[in-house]
Homo-oligomer: A and B are copies of this chain.
């Protein structure tokens, strides 16, 4: 069932199945836990492509074409488009995923959070204007700020829990006796998953907290940022976060793949790096399952 207010909205890709069914298919189709983060920075584009905002769509399309069979998801980060007025490039990027990687889910990284009436506007931005499969949300404002998203039962809601950045602990790990991130995970499982379309963000930089989130939310898929430039350990993150079915993870990598090369072969370089990461994730998952060390077995 789609949100009652907009029964006819969304392409067939989006409304014919639940978000979790689409995610399961994406994992199966590509046999991959890898998500490519689309954080376009025109100043880092290869010179031959051009380094202005007008080249964002072409850059993203080249990356998507080069990695389509290697990933379960793409995660465009909206600030990279909004900062330079490239809304149309975001529309074009989502369209490129539908065309070139139709199995993949598109997670819009927007980290929205506002009161109910405004949250409905943000949901419209994500699910109507950009027609993505899921959107990231910030839980600081509580349940009523998330409700307008949760009502879109065919779309995914990806709620920040324990983020990967250095300053996250200042807020999210407090109080020590029962840290906020753990409270968020508990509330999310209890109240924010009415249609089974919940994901949680759990950074790769903190495997212990990631393992705790997996323990509190055994069946919830986790979006895992923080590998590569942010320094997270891939093996530790997979061991901590894999679910009982040997899946449950969407592991994001952006800059390490997007800017693997800066010459005319940038797409081939991106493919090589994405292949390396997909394989490393496969190996880590096999190791974890082989050792029986993941929780909830």
Contacts and interface: CB of A to CB of B under 8 A. Distances in A.
Interface in A103-133: 109, 111-119, 121-122, 124-125, 128-129
Nearest to A79: B121
A160 interface: yes
A139 interface: yes
A35 to B, nearest CB: 16
A169 interface: yes
Contact of A39 (B116, B118, B141, B170): B118
Contacts of A141: 160, 163, 165, 167-168, 171
A283 to B, nearest CB: 27
A230 B117 CA distance: 11
- Report how many copies the assembly holds: 2
Given A138-B138, A140-B138, A121 B160 contact: no
Contacts of A168: 141-142
Interface stretch (A8-16, A17-25, A172-180): A172-180
Interface residues of A, number: 52
Contacts of A80: 118, 121
A219 interface: no
B121 A142 contact: no
Contact of A140 (B109, B139, B175): B139
A125 B172 CA distance: 26
B125 A145 contact: no
A253 interface: no
Contacts of A128: 83
Given A115-B164, A175-B175, 4 more contacts: A84-B124, A113-B113, A144-B167, A170-B187
Interface of A: 39, 77, 79-80, 82-85, 87, 109, 111-119, 121-122, 124-125, 128-129, 138-145, 160, 163-172, 174-175, 178, 180, 183-184, 187, 230
Q: Which 7 A-B pairs have the closest CB atoms?
A: A142-B167, A79-B121, A144-B167, A83-B124, A83-B121, A142-B170, A115-B165
